[in-house]
Amino acid sequence: MGVDLSRIRPVLQRHERGDKTALVHALQDLQATYRYLPEEGVREVCAHLGVPLSKAFAVATFYKAFSLEPRGERICRVCLGTTCHIRGAPLLVEELERLLEVRAGGTTKDLSFTLETVNCVGACAMAPVVLVDGKYHDGVVPTDLPGIVGR
Ligand code: FES
């Protein structure tokens, strides 16, 4: 499935042609537009800034904030740090995989959700913790999940 390239033009317009120093900002802009870095978009950004494609992909793989795979409209993260793990987080992952019909680390076919596991998010006293679009849900049990993700 191709991406809508018309949305790249505004990204390019915000960064001066040939400004190699703008690479990270331009990629951030591209990711904000598409929620990931489509290859066609990365190629356009590189051509615009005069940066080799290999450099852009090196940057994109170095920074965890960038994704080269399509991401869901909503990001659901389950903490699998030690405390959350002990308090049942693996069961939450299993239940979310069932509800969302996607494996942890993946994105639903309709691009509505990306399901991720993360290490301690610094809220151990509230374990187990699930974050949806950055909002913390604490003391979560599997039966809470349909209400949290709306499925
Ligand atoms: S282990 Fe989950 S918040 Fe610390």
Q: How far apart are the first and last CA of the chain?
A: 26
If asked whether residues 118 and 94 sit together in one domain, one would say yes
Looking at the CA of residue 128, tell me the nearest atom of ligand 1: 2
- Pocket probe mutation, ligand 1, options 79, 126, 130, max atoms within 8 Å of Cβ: 79
Residue 93 Cα to ligand 1 midpoint, Å, equals 14
- The letter for the amino acid at 136 is Y
Convert 79-90 to b/e letters by CB count within 10 Å (16 or more is b).
Answer: bbbebbbebebe
Structural domains counted in the chain: 2
Q: What is the mean pLDDT of residues 84-89?
A: 98
For the entire predicted model, the pTM comes to 0.81
Separate counts of helices (H) and strands (E) for the chain:
7, 4
Looking at residue 151, what is its pLDDT?
87
Residue 21 reports pLDDT greater than 60: yes
Answer whether residue 69 is part of any domain: no
CA distance 135 to 38: 27
Looking at the CA of residue 123, tell me the nearest atom of ligand 1: 3
- Structural domain including 25 reads 5-62
The predicted-structure confidence for 114-146, as pLDDT tens digits, reads as follows 999 999 999 999 999 999 999 999 999 999 999
- Residue 65: which pLDDT band, with cuts at 50, 70 and 90? confident
If asked whether residues 78 and 51 sit together in one domain, one would say no
If asked whether residues 58 and 78 sit together in one domain, one would say no
pLDDT > 70 in the chain, percent: 99
CA distance 115 to 74: 9
User: Burial, 24: exposed, middle or buried (Cβ in 10 Å; 0-12, 13-18, 19+)?
Assistant: middle
